[in-house]
Structure 1
Amino acid sequence: MPHTLDSAAVRRWCSLTLEALGREREEIDAINVYPVADGDTGTNLYLTAESAREAVEAAAGAGFGETVRAMAHGALIGARGNSGTILAQLLRGMAGVLAAAAGEECSGELLARGLAEAAREARRAVAHPVEGTILTVASAAARACEKARGENPAAVARTAYEGARAALEATPGQLAALERAGVVDAGGRGLVAVLGALVEALTGAAPARPVRAARPLVVEECAAGGPAFEVIYLLEAEDAAVDRLRETLDALGDSLVVVGGDGLWNVHVHVDDAGAAVEAGVEAGRPYRIRITHFDVARGPAPQRAQRAVVAVLPGKGLAALYAEAGATTLLVGPGQQPAGGQLAEAIRRAHAHEVVLLPNAVELRHTAAAAAEQVRAEGVRVALIPTRSAVQGIAALAVHEPERRFDEDVVAMTTAAGATRYGELAVAERQSFTSAGVCQAGDVLGLIDGDVAVIGQEVADTARRTLDRMLSPGGELVTLVVADDAPEGLADRLEAHVREAHLAVDTVVYPGGPQAPLLLIGVE
């Protein structure tokens, strides 16, 4: 006897989807050749589905409409990668129809309408839709269930699944990259798993899986070239600003997918200039949960798991390109924000490496980073946590990073370099308080050295100079300055000149901190 599609069925669907993608994640990763052969489609779909399930579980006891909205919202805020972002829009399109028209359960007619709207919404979200992808599979599922509109939800879901499965088998003939590799589309394969979970949630029986098996890829099957970075962020912005953002990002790169609405969007794009992609988001509204990943595989071999990678947390986008050029996967946080342990663990997984060096770059993240590292170690990845307390210590560690040497030796060298770097920061006091340097008033400029207030001043440049002198008093060979966009004009030039005049034989390098970064970061090696 088929189950009805109600709140309980939606919760079963989310749980069964996560189970299915968990079983098939490695298989889907292995056939990921389009749009970038980076071997993470299964992982991204799994993480997106995990966020959807968590949101539904948090809404336990809610009515049908609220439950399907929670599922869609959870997928939106947790969407990962190209296929995960499209899946989020599919769920959002379906939820919009079901939540608006259904009572406490959904008819087969309404489910068919929801799947049709899901396919339309997903296509609208992609800047340049391509056939032979998850979009094709979604459209085929919607067309198939048109014939079953008068049936119960279980029959509609089963018909949609069979239509999707047939479309998936045809994808190699629609996309050259798939035909060369001899595989079906990875995103479409994931969507078939999602629809299969819906059938199981409504009938209690899992449908037959697709017959085409994944096989290992060879180097010749993966195209070279393409943008160097994947940029993903959540964005709070108005519709008109998002329309302009789409035009800007479309000119910057490819694989552009912007999903969401009602003021909250998930933005995904592949670009060579990651900073410009984030800056476009700043101009459109408020971007956060920014993730920038360097495509090591985009310019070369098949999506094999790398031997070693570096994962770093960064305050603002200014240093993202510098870290990414060194091969690091970066997780960006805004002022006063800290990533959760799950976000750090996910960033480690996204590095796709057997060995990972984690740079938290903040004192406050020490315990969170340690917990995330331990979580991923349990999955078979070797993770070393270097307790960097500032992004400038992370720069020092990256400068001596050599992936070719033994892991332990590399970690020791990076740890030594970070530990030998004193770090400082300029901040503005928000209120009167007692510090190790005396009492400060709201609006005072504070110079912190190794986490403690060492200088209190009224003017940024003077406080920066005095802080720098304190840091160089024991000696040093290299000064690193990371300057935020809102720092006083000419600050870096004035500090460089001061170092040349007052501290002979000390070199200075300057990096832009970008918007939303600390006013000034100082490193002395």
Structure 2
Amino acid sequence: MVKLDGILLKQMIISGSNNIFNSYPDIDALNVFPVPDGDTGTNMNLTMSSGAKEVSTTDDSNIYNVAKAFSRGLLLGARGNSGVILSQIFRGFAEGLKGKEEADAVDIAEAFMIGKEVAYKAVMKPVEGTMLTVEREAAMVLYEKAERGMPIDEAIDIFLSEAEASLKRTPNLLPVLKEVGVVDSGGAGFCKVIEGFSKALHNEIVQRNMPDVVSTPVSENKEEFNASNPVQAKLEHKDFGYCTEFILQLPENPQESGKHKFDEHRFRSVLNNYGNSIVAVRDDDLVKVHIHAKKPGTVFNYAQQFGEFIKLKVESMTQQHEHIIDLAKEGKATAPKQEYEDKPVEANDTTPLKEYASVAVCAGDGIAELFHTGIGVDGIVTGGQTMNPSTADITAAVLKVHAKNVFVYPNNGNIVMAASSAADILAPKGINVIVVPTKTIPEGMIAAMMFNPSVSPESNKTEMLEAISQVKSGEVTYAVRDTTIGGVSVKKNQFMGMHGKSIAAVGDDKIDALNKLLESMMDDNSSIITVLCGEDIDEATRGSIEADLQKKYGSRADIDVKYGGQPVYSFIVSVED
């Protein structure tokens, strides 16, 4: 086969998505720092799922149309820097196929070369030894070797082989990878996607190891409906999602099991983002969940942070309703009550746009309350290090606050690119999204407090960036494995104080690590210390920490210890001059 069309490209995309789904925990484990927040695999999996979902129902044989739809699905579902970069690679890939019904090996090689250019331009400071390098080197080799008449499977195999070879070289380009003994996680995820492409071309389409939304759908019934029939009018072309049920067993000691502490209220709040008809009940160490979700895999990924599944069930409500439609054609059914209707964010909002609004990304009910009630941020997107929101999540939040100018505080370096993509999507709608590149919660809070409604968006951003430069941020969490980084050794289950991109402190308990971290961050000009306590810190411990810090630093700095409720990090710390 020397030509690739849209039908086969769709099969390749689904196979690639399934392949990374089956491998994402291993990719997460490639995280350089031994903290319980490795999420590159999760982000790339969810991004690919979004792209595959976009094309899974199409029967279009036009390769450009399918590539374009895939690209848009990736963009809207992009999570984290790895997801955004992946979306940009395939955005360029789609551009390279513009105007083509089919593509041969040379066309594919040229498309991957354009993908390289678009992806590099999307990153302000491209770093070699990452997914960018893996795709670039593979694209260049294929571009040199591709010929008219070359079988498509041979071309993709060349690309895959070079991508895998490039991945093995990434530790030579990034010293920290060599020090830790891993390859680049984003590059590894990209190789899994291309491996799935290759398997599809060899008639070995990868299947998922657990049920999810991305699978080749049942063929759509093409028979014309009578629009005057109430059953047909209400049910035709609806995607009702999946009735998802599971029982989750919580570990006795979450930290030792590498899991997060379970909070029933927060758990339900997050599930509200994923579907409706939610029932979540905890009985000792078991959690029983029922939810109608469009993306069961996303629900499973989130839930598995807290425990392990002992029972799973997923049923397609769409197929059940298609059966009702068939009965309706035979006059054997009446229109059911609609319970799953999607409501667009902008629906029925005819009020004038406000001049200014703001959106912050954060995890933890205490931190959300500080942003919303304490500082006055209008919209909150639930997310953070272990659960990066997608471009679509941020876009929806911006639309919901209903303003002409919206400041977005990502509060995580891995979310800045998704926020910037949301800004690009909303610009043609006349909404000016100002992404303030905050990389930590303290930076976001300082930036949000600097907002001045009497000056321009540009002046506000300038003042915010200046304020950010004056704050130091740190976090305390535990190590999930033994490692040595920057000459600092840490053993599994020890606590670490992280400052910037380095391990600033190591302690056998979290309070010890907190004290050592603060010592490393304080200097003669430090005048404000803020500690946000995580979900694992009780009220008594918070009081004890504040008393100890008052004794040690109270004569030279203002001390503020607050409840944050964040997962993963026992403490988030800021020190200001």
TM-score by length of 1: 0.48
Structure possessing the higher relative contact order (Cα contacts under 8 Å, 6 or more residues apart): 2
TM-score by length of 2: 0.44
